[in-house]
Structure formats: structure tokens, C-alpha cells
Amino acid sequence: MNAESVDCLVLGAGPAGLRAAQVLAEAGREVMVLEKKATVGPKTCAGGLTAKSVSELVPLGLPLEATFASVGHVRFGGEPCTALDAELALVRTISRAALGRMQADWARAAGAEIRIGTTARGVDTDRHEVSTGGGAIRYHHLIGADGSDSAVRRALGLPSPRGCIAAEFNVPGVRLAPLRIECDEPALANGYFWVFPHADYTSIGAAALKDVIPPRRLRPYIAGRAEALGAAVDGVPFEAATLEVEYHGLHFPGGVHLAGDAAGVASSLTAEGIYAALVTGEEVARSIVERDYPAPKTRRWLRVKARHDRLMRRLRARWARTLTIGALSALVRVPPARRPLARWFVDG
Ligand SMILES: Cc1cc2nc3c(=O)[nH]c(=O)nc-3n(C[C@H](O)[C@H](O)[C@H](O)COP(=O)(O)OP(=O)(O)OC[C@H]3O[C@@H](n4cnc5c(N)ncnc54)[C@H](O)[C@@H]3O)c2cc1C
């Protein structure tokens, strides 16, 4: 069978892959996106967009009315929930289905082809070829934007520990306020619990490192917290997924590139991955179009991520958690400290 051939092949129609496809197509490059699911968009995710993600998406066409806005609150230890800075900690939520639909429209309008229901089964980086159930596709450039369980990352021989796990109940018909992050050290160690209200449902979940908190503990913990907050989760599907947070680079020999979770660019501290997916998707694509593109947003984000990852590593020690959570709990009660805290954790 003759292999098809395309200039730029993108695996995965998540925020990273669709952003990359849009940029490449706008630059006049031939782009094909393969997406294994039958629908573009839906993914286990709380759908939280920080201000920096919103500032990437609004110029592309995201209508703010499609999102639900809340000021982020935090709770450290036994203290009550406290609102962070109203501007820097404004978080907008959107379902991943809605975000995926919009990004797919933008990419298609630019000229990208998106093939849904098509799984990349084999990646042969020597032959520049990806096999699907229906045959093989040759590429000049391959972008692995296929999420935390990335076939492209594996084909490159990179480690894929997928060290972070996040899990949630999306409770329909409930809008639980405030939007919050809670550090519950005894239960989640250096992980955290969240409540992210959307217009017509609320994501209630938790994130933790798999080697610190056994993943099986998350479901009873989240269910118990949800019920204590008055949100019944009986009959609500429980969803869990891993994040890859180990970064080894974006560009590899043979025209192979990684973006988003496949590249391990999410923050291990906040589990925020949409912004990192959008900017690495965009800038990996720009680097293909323009030799020596400096990728300023990616470089800046990788500095933020390095700070987050360093703190997360330190917080593996119980004494460091006790000290840090105690200090944050005191700091957040001082109003002038709330803006720098929001800048450090959310604004990046
Ligand atoms: C429970 C949970 C809550 C989260 N909440 C937030 C949040 O509120 N805010 C935030 O910023 N981040 C959040 N994240 C992180 C965020 O979901 C990810 O970082 C983000 O989706 C990464 O985008 P991506 O495009 O790299 O990968 P994905 O969104 O994972 O997209 C990858 C795509 O590739 C497809 N694919 C995979 N393998 C193949 C294959 N072999 N062939 C074809 N297609 C394939 C998948 O079906 C998928 O559509 C959360 C994560 C979890 C698990």
C-alpha cells in the first residue's frame, strides 16, 4: 500500500496540537492532525483558564461569554478560604468540549485537516512514518501533541513517568462557590484539592504525585469532601488522568517535536497544563516555520515551571510542607501579600 505523505503531521487534537496546527496552516504549511477520539475536545480536566491562558485565547476568538469567571480562593491548613488578588487570580472555566470545538474551528478555518477517530499506532522516526489502522502517513515534521501517554515521546526513547495524577467528579447542575484550591497536607501531602465552578456544573477534584499519595486514595477523599460541601456525587462518573511533568526538550532529530503534556511542560505544583500546551503548541509550530525562532513565551513559562517544580520537590519532605503551609497560611491573611501570592502561583 502506498503511504500518504504530508508536510506537517500533528498527533493529538488537544490544546497543543490544535494550536500548532492553526499556526502552521496560517503560515501556508500543509497540516494534518490525527485524533484518536471520535470527538475533538472532551478530556478529564477541570477546564480552568488562568488570565494568561485567556490572554492567549481571546485574540484567537474565544468569546468571554463562553466562560464562567470566578476569583480564585485558597485555603492553607485549617484557615478559612481567602480570596487572592481579584485581577491576577481571576480564573475562567470552560468545558474542554467547548474549548476543543472552538480550537478545531480556528485550525480548520486556517486550512488544517483534522482526522478524528484515527489513532496513531506506530511511530517510526527513522522512516519518518506514522502507522494508523488504515495505513501509513509520511511526514517532514511530526509534532507529538498526544498528551501525557504520548506515543511520540515513547518513540523518542524519553522516560514517561507520568508522575502526577489528577481526578475529579464533574457534578452536573451545581455551581459551588467559591472557586478554590485547598492544601490539605495530612491527606494529600504536597498535592491539593480543588473546586472549579462552571456555568452548569462543578469540577471537584484533587491532584497529587503518584509516588507520594497512592492514587486509590483520591476517590474516597474527593467524594467525602464533595459531600461535606453539599455536592452529592452518587452516580456521577469519577474521572482520573495522569499528567507528564518531566521535561526533556521540544525539538528532536529527524523533524520530530513535542508540545504540551507530551513534552512534560505542565506545572507539577499547580497541574496547570492548558497554558503550557497552547504556548508550546504555538511556538513549536513557529520554530518549524521560522528557523531560529526565539520562542519567548515557552522560555518564560519553562522558567516559571522550573520554580514550581523546585518547590514541589522540596515539599516532598514533611518538615518543608509544615513550614511552607504555615508561612503561606500566615501570609494570605495579610491583604498586601495576596497579589504577589497570586502572581507566583497563578499568573506565573
Ligand atoms: C483532572 C485534571 C484536571 C485538570 N485541570 C486543569 C485546569 O483546570 N487547567 C489547566 O490548565 N490544566 C488542567 N489540567 C491539565 C490539562 O488537562 C493538560 O495539561 C492539557 O490538556 C494538555 O493539553 P495537550 O494538548 O498537551 O494534551 P491533551 O489535552 O491530553 O490532548 C492530547 C490529545 O491527543 C489524543 N491522542 C492521544 N494519543 C493519540 C494517538 N496515539 N493517536 C491520535 N490521537 C491521540 C488524545 O485523545 C487527546 O485528544 C488538568 C488535568 C487533569 C488530569
* Residue ranges of domains in the chain: 4-43+96-161+245-312, 48-94+163-243+317-348
* pLDDT at residue 22 in the model: 98
pLDDT digit string, tens, across residues 279-325: 999 999 999 999 999 999 999 999 999 999 999 999 999 999 999 99
Non-local CB neighbours of 68 within 8 Å, separated by 6+ positions? 92, 93, 94, 175, 197, 198, 199
Confidence band for 2, pLDDT divided at 50, 70 and 90? low
**180 pLDDT above the threshold of 90:** yes
- Mean per-residue pLDDT, 19-35: 98
Residue nearest to atom 31 of ligand 1 (CA): 14
Percent of the chain with pLDDT over 70: 99
**347 pLDDT above the threshold of 90:** no
Q: Does the predicted TM-score (pTM) go above 0.85? A: yes
Q: How far is the CA of 277 from the centre of ligand 1 (A)?
A: 9
Architecture of the domain spanning 48-94+163-243+317-348:
2-Layer Sandwich (3.30)
Q: How far is the CA of 280 from the centre of ligand 1 (A)?
A: 13
Least confident range from 237-246, 300-309, 339-348: namely 339-348
Do residues 263 and 250 make contact, with C-beta atoms less than 8 angstroms apart?
yes
Residue nearest to atom 18 of ligand 1 (CA): 273
Residues at CB less than 6 angstroms from ligand 1: 11-17, 34-37, 43-48, 119-120, 145-147, 151, 166-168, 205, 241, 243, 260-262, 266, 271-275, 277
The gap from C-alpha 1 to its chain's centroid, in whole angstroms, comes to 38
Spatial separation of the C-alpha atoms in residues 202 and 174, rounded to whole Å: 6
Q: Is 80 left (phi over 0), alpha (psi -120 to 50) or beta?
A: beta
Ligand 1 atom with the smallest distance to the CA of 146 is 34
* pLDDT at residue 184 in the model: 92
The three-state (H, E, C) secondary structure of the chain, written as one string? CCCEEEEEEEECCCHHHHHHHHHHHHCCCCEEEECCCCCCCCCCCCCEECHHHHHHHHHHCCCHHHCEEEECEEEECCCCCEECCCCCCEEEECCHHHHHHHHHHHHHHHCCEEECCCCEEEEECCCCEEEECCEEEEEEEEEECCCCCCHHHHHCCCCCCCCEEEEEEEEECCCCCCCEEEECHHHHCCCEEEEEECCCEEEEEEEEECCCCCHHHHHHHHHHHHHHCCCCCCCCCEEEEEECCCCCCCEECCCEEECHHHHCCCCCCCCCCHHHHHHHHHHHHHHHHCCCCCCHHHHHHHHHHHHHHHHHHHCCCHHHHHHHHHHHHHHCCCHHHHHHHHHHHHHC
Spatial separation of the C-alpha atoms in residues 313 and 135, rounded to whole Å: 44
Percent of the chain with pLDDT over 90: 96
What CATH number is given for 4-43+96-161+245-312 in this structure?
3.50.50.60
Q: How far is the CA of 14 from the centre of ligand 1 (A)?
A: 6
Do residues 46 and 201 make contact, with C-beta atoms less than 8 angstroms apart?
no
**133 pLDDT above the threshold of 90:** no
pLDDT digit string, tens, across residues 50-66: 999 999 999 999 999 99
Among 146, 179, 218, residue to substitute to test ligand 1 (most atoms within 8 Å of Cβ): 146
Q: What is the mean pLDDT of the chain?
A: 96
* pLDDT at residue 1 in the model: 54
Q: Is 334 left (phi over 0), alpha (psi -120 to 50) or beta?
A: beta
Spatial separation of the C-alpha atoms in residues 228 and 58, rounded to whole Å: 36
**86 pLDDT above the threshold of 60:** yes
pLDDT digit string, tens, across residues 182-234: 999 999 999 999 999 999 999 999 999 999 999 999 999 999 999 999 999 99
